[in-house]
Structure 1
Amino acid sequence: MEVLDPSRAAEDIARIAADFERQAKSFEQLRERMATLTVTETSRDGRIGVTVDNNGVPTDIVLAAGTRGMDPAVVSAEIMSCLRRAQATLRTQVAQTVNDTVGEDPAGTAIADQYAQRFPDVVSGDTGSSVHAPKEPPAHTPPLVSPELDAPRETSATPSRGRKPDRDQVVTPDEPDDDDEYYNRKSWLV
């Protein structure tokens, strides 16, 4: 049976407490450094930029005047490309910050692993220059606009300054229901 030396036990406890304090300071520094992390990625032509915060959430999207008149699908695809690249860069910066601040600590490794799971590598074609065209609807999907709606309608009324002639038409139900009769007897001024 081993006899514990009280002075050695006190030294061990003091060493453990100092290690915990050092580790707590390291994680406080990590928290402070991560709180200030932001990443901005721009498109290759510089017309679109996306900034993400330390959680990978977009905090700013900048569209230069050159995006005016661009196909919205192209702009959307470019924004998403910039977002994915910013999040992947953030993941790399978080891993580096964790390694520089707390080293090979299991809790730090867990933080870096969470970012790696949330923000995977960018697909090799997702460099900002590739733009994906919108997908064609399946063949069985009816067209969004029918030919009847595209054809101009003939009306006897003359539209007034760009207004559609049907806007002046009041549509009411054929027969009033209980709610209509109830509200017809009430005043909205009260």
Structure 2
Amino acid sequence: MDSPDEVERMITEWRAGVAEQAERFDAARRAIDEVSVTETAAGGAIVLTVASSGIPTDLRLGDGVDRMKPDQVAAQIMACLRRAQTRLADRVGSVVVDTIGDAAGGQAIAEEYRHRFPPLPGEDDHRPPLVENADFGLSDLAPDPTPPATVPAAAPVRATRRTPADDDEDWDAPLW
């Protein structure tokens, strides 16, 4: 059986360990709060930044987007967002290892980010290959292989001709 002095020493060491671990977790929380990731698309015409929550905090559209179709711009923004969030999970994992180490709680934080923002399927370096896009030059978005659907022309509207008598019939009506 341990002596009272040994028990008190073990409790003191345990308290010190818990306090140290709490300080490391607090430092990790502060460091994670400071993490942001910026990604670009369309040759730099689109720049998107996400905060540590994965929520976009900044979106800048350069001059090049005016030569892109709206659906291409939207697809580029969404792809940029997904790449930024994937990199965010990697960055948070690094912060956790640097501040907490291999503690189970730190691994759980990093795993939660990897679960929320998983790696993109089929991408080794988190970037799609550049392809030639005739509408914009080099872009991250492959050209659409199907032409846009054409909208059928509307039937012509027959105009009715008003007579001067038609104009006078509302003249005496109240305005409201």
Does residue 153 (structure 1) correspond to residue 154 (structure 2)? The answer is no
The aligned counterpart of 1:20 is 18
What is the letter of the counterpart of residue 77 of structure 1? Answer: A
Q: Which amino acid aligns with 2:141?
A: V
What is the DSSP-based 3-state SS (H/G/I as helix, E as strand, rest coil) of the residue aligned with 1:68? helix
The corresponding residue for 1:131 is 141
Greater fraction of residues in strand: 2
Distance 1:128 1:61, change over 3 A: farther
Identical pairs, percent:
34
Match of 1:58 in 2: 56
Mapped partners of 1:55, 1:128: distance in 2: 27
The 3 A distance-change label for structure 1 pair 16 and 132 is same
CA distance in 2, matches of 1:63, 1:31: 32
Q: Cα RMSD between the aligned structures?
A: 2.4
Flag structure 1 segments of 5+ consecutive residues without an equivalent: 137-142, 159-190
Gaps of 5+ in 2: 131-139, 163-176
Contact 2:42/2:76 (8 A) holds in 1: no
Q: Distance in 2 between matches of 1:126 and 1:134?
A: 19
Q: Which has the larger radius of gyration?
A: 1
> What are the residue-to-residue correspondences of 1:15-54 with 2, within 5 Å?
15-54=13-52
The code of the aligned residue for 2:110 comes to A
* 1:62-82 residue CA offsets vs partner (Å, 9 max, x unmatched): 111221142011111111111
Within 5 Å, give how 1:40-189 maps onto structure 2: 40-123=38-121, 124=123, 126-127=127-128, 129=130, 130-131=140-141, 147=153, 150-157=154-161
Q: How far apart are residue 156 of structure 1 and its match?
A: 1.8
| Deviation per residue, 1:124-183 (Å, 9 max, x gap) | 2852734256797xxxxxx89554xx233121258xxxxxxxxxxxxxxxxxxxxxxxxx
Instruction: Mark the CA change 1:13 to 1:113 in structure 2 (over 3 Å): closer, same or farther.
Output: same
Q: TM-score, with normalisation over the residues of structure 1?
A: 0.70
